[in-house]
Structure 1
Amino acid sequence: MAAERRTRGPREFDRDDVLDALSHARKSLIEAQRAMRPKSGLARSADAVISEIDEFAFVLTGERTHFHAAAHGSPHRKPDGAG
């Protein structure tokens, strides 16, 4: 008798593990791009992979900028006299 094969559902994986691996890959590609000629085919290919990583993260999280750092700065100030 053959063993039963169970197929996985489309979301049966550890989402956080995948996002962590994608984050490391994305950072490595960005670091590698710094040594590439900006308009070279290799740099464009790295940029395309980074874009696909961002798109995949968006599908998993619903956040377009999941891997992007939050903006730094002070909170917006109200003009004098505003309540």
Structure 2
Amino acid sequence: MRRPLRIAQIGHPILRQPTRILTREELLSEEIQSFLDDLVETMREASGAGLAANQVYQSLRICAVEVGTILDTPIGPTFH
């Protein structure tokens, strides 16, 4: 089990600060990959659909998004 991270609450200054773009090398690093594992675990524990790094006090331009599975029933208009 990964370690869940603290999530910043609405109004916290970290949420308005600029984030840093990661280089390809940084993105592929063991440190960032481990952080992403923690970010996904935190998002899932909070029952979220997505979570950005700055929401867990890291000023990095990266996020996790839960995509889900393909629906069995299409969503859209029906024509008769």
TM-score (norm 1): 0.30
Higher helix proportion (structure 1 or 2): 1
Higher strand proportion (structure 1 or 2): 2
Structure showing greater radius of gyration is 1
